Amino acid sequence: MANRVALVARREYLENLGTKGFWLGLLVFPVILIASIAVPFLFSKSAGRRTYTVIDGSGWLGAAVQERILTQEFTTLLRATIRIEESGDSSAYALPDSMVELAVAVKPLSDDHRARVAGALAGSDAAVEALDSALDSYVKELVLSARAEAQSWYRSLTAKQAKRIDDGLDATRYAYVAPPDRPAAVDELNRQIADGRLFAYFVIGPDPVTGSDGTRYVSKNLTDTSLRDWYAWRASEVVRERRIERQGLTSEIAGWLSAPLSFVGEVVGSGGATSAAKASDKLRQWAPAIFVYILWVSVFSSAQMLLMNTVEEKSNRVLEVLLSSVSSLELMSGKILGMAATGLTIVGAWVAFFYATTMALPRFFVGMPDLGLAQIASDPVYLLLFLCYYIFGYFLYAALLVAIGSVCSTHKEAQNLMTPIVLALILPLLTLTPITRDPNGTLARILSFIPTFTPFVMMNRSAGPPEVWEYVVTTVELMLSVVVAFWAAGRVFRVGVLMTGKPPSLREIVRWARASGGRRQINAL
């Protein structure tokens, strides 16, 4: 028996290797993976800086916003310069010497003080004078001597240079150009936008503190709102402070009033200690969802391939020839195993590719944050769960679909009979996000115990993780369902492969599966 099953399985496997579907299946995931990682990355890399300008009807807001932006930028720059200086090689970044010197001087200062220094760098002499008395005169002097050079250096900074220094610099994305100093400035700017020389311009109304009258954003591209949001946020900050000042409060109090609270994300580790959240932690929470999705796609596509191949062989009349040599159960098992081997080959190739890619990615894309993809990809818990749930899930659905395939003579009939199964299969996808957010919630728990959903839902919950007894009970349940499905499918298959003509209804199929061996209904005698 085992030998014949192996023969059938081997033949199926070898034949599958020769199909287009196999190679498509093999390639589709790597292509999607590369595309989903590389395209946004390359896109963000290649997207040019958005150049913008401001026509300031108020006479003060445009300059104030630029100063605010510059303050922010110099804060980032000082931090980056400290980092670069510490790493030793500052010459590669074309930083002005005075900046480096200043950075060394502010290194021991608090964030708050550094922000003041940055503000002084960005602003007027008054801002330098206003530097806290807590700062020693050496720093003040450094700021005064560095300011002019730093500002002109910043204006000549290209997006590429900015990116090398620090990804977070706004200079990597937006560049300010001075508006034309002419009465017909708007016409000139519109022309520039039409030519593509300018991305957008802002118009500030005469009295922004009172309201938004006359405030406009003009661009050819209104779908990409990042520049508008970015500028509007900073302008609003300045206006808000001015409004508070009008109420008779000092600018210091105004700044303090409008300063946001920032919550630093931390995660609780296994030992109960907290640590600062990294990008990889968030990804780790979502890793099961990614695994579920891949699981779903692979289970569904292998089972579907099996269905199509069964229908095709049945319509080719090849199956009855085999039935004199192998029993229908052997034939069915062989087919299911052959397709399982095919599916595992594809999934194995995916995992290998995923692993290799995540190892190699940082080499190709310098500056990409380490998401810990490789650790997730090679996490034995996830891999083991994935493998088990792939095998059980596949067996369950393969048994159902091979039974359906055996009673159909055309693909169209098969599609019709498959509709209920497809509808049932959509559910694990719909619950993907809710279960990821709440892996041990009631919905997740209930669905875990429905065998057709168990593989997907339990995989989904693995970040939770579920309790051990849940694993045990659902797995036993799933295995029993696989046995029952095989048994029932075997009965339907036995009748189905000999049948020609119109496919039976689902009710009839269920009756066949239940009926005792001797009394079966066949349309064709």
Partner 1 sequence: MSDALIMDRVTKSFGDVVAVDELSLRVPSGCIYGVLGPNGAGKTTALRMIVGILEPDSGSVSVLGLADAAAVRQRIGYLPEEKGLYKKMRVGAMVAYAGELKGMPKKAAHENAIHLLNVYGLGDWVTKRCEALSKGMSQKAMLLSTMIHDPDLVILDEPFSGLDPVNTEIMRDVIVNMRRQGKTVLFSTHVMEQAEQICDAIVLIHRGRKVLDGPLASVLDAGGTAVQLDYDGDGEPLKELRGVSRVNDAGKHAELILDSGTDPQDVLAQVVGKVRVRRFDLREPSLHEVFVRAVKEDASGE
Residues making contact with partner 1 (CB under 8 A)? 3-4, 7-8, 11, 15, 18-19, 313, 316-318, 320-328, 498, 500, 517-522, 525
- Minimum distance from residue 7 beta carbon to partner 1 (Å): 6
Which residue(s) pair with 176 in the sheet? Answer: 52
- Minimum distance from residue 10 beta carbon to partner 1 (Å): 9
Pick 158 or 500: Cβ nearer partner 1 = 500
Contacts of 216 (CB under 8 A, 6+ apart): 202, 203
Pick 18 or 272: Cβ nearer partner 1 = 18
Pick 1 or 134: Cβ nearer partner 1 = 1
Pick 33 or 515: Cβ nearer partner 1 = 515
CB 287 within 8 A of CB 376: yes
Kindly state the tokens that stand for 462: 């693995």
Alpha carbon 317 to chain centroid, angstroms: 46
- Minimum distance from residue 320 beta carbon to partner 1 (Å): 4
Pick 248 or 518: Cβ nearer partner 1 = 518
- Minimum distance from residue 343 beta carbon to partner 1 (Å): 19
CB 202 within 8 A of CB 229: no
- Minimum distance from residue 494 beta carbon to partner 1 (Å): 9
Pick 182 or 519: Cβ nearer partner 1 = 519
Pick 326 or 458: Cβ nearer partner 1 = 326
- Minimum distance from residue 315 beta carbon to partner 1 (Å): 8
**Residue 462, Cβ neighbours under 10 Å: how many?**
20
Which residue(s) pair with 202 in the sheet? Answer: 54, 217
Pick 260 or 517: Cβ nearer partner 1 = 517
Helix axes 226-246, 251-258, angle to 10 degrees: 130
Q: 277 by DSSP, 3-state: which?
A: coil
Please state whether beta strands 216-219 and 200-204 pair in parallel, antiparallel, or not at all (unpaired): antiparallel
Question: Phi and psi of 98, rounded to 5°?
Answer: -65, -35
CB 495 within 8 A of CB 333: no
Pick 25 or 439: Cβ nearer partner 1 = 25
What's the DSSP call for residue 49? P
What's the DSSP call for residue 205? -
Q: 53 by DSSP, 3-state: which?
A: strand
CA distance 395 to 477: 14
What's the DSSP call for residue 55? E
Pick 226 or 521: Cβ nearer partner 1 = 521
Pick 25 or 119: Cβ nearer partner 1 = 25
- Minimum distance from residue 163 beta carbon to partner 1 (Å): 52
- Minimum distance from residue 313 beta carbon to partner 1 (Å): 7
Kindly state the tokens that stand for 20: 């287009």
CB 424 within 8 A of CB 299: no
Pick 317 or 514: Cβ nearer partner 1 = 317
How many angstroms separate the Cα of 11 from the Cα of each of 7, 17, 339, 478?
6, 10, 10, 28
Map 447-467 to HEC letters.
Answer: HHCCCCCHHHHHHHHCCCCCC
CA distance 216 to 502: 67
What's the DSSP call for residue 90? -
Please state whether beta strands 274-276 and 266-268 pair in parallel, antiparallel, or not at all (unpaired): antiparallel
- Minimum distance from residue 314 beta carbon to partner 1 (Å): 9
> Which of 254, 41, 78 minimizes the C-alpha distance to 169?
78
CA distance 274 to 266: 6
- Minimum distance from residue 382 beta carbon to partner 1 (Å): 36
- Minimum distance from residue 5 beta carbon to partner 1 (Å): 11
- Minimum distance from residue 198 beta carbon to partner 1 (Å): 60
What value, to the nearest 5°, has the Cα angle with vertex 280 and ends 277 and 286?
105
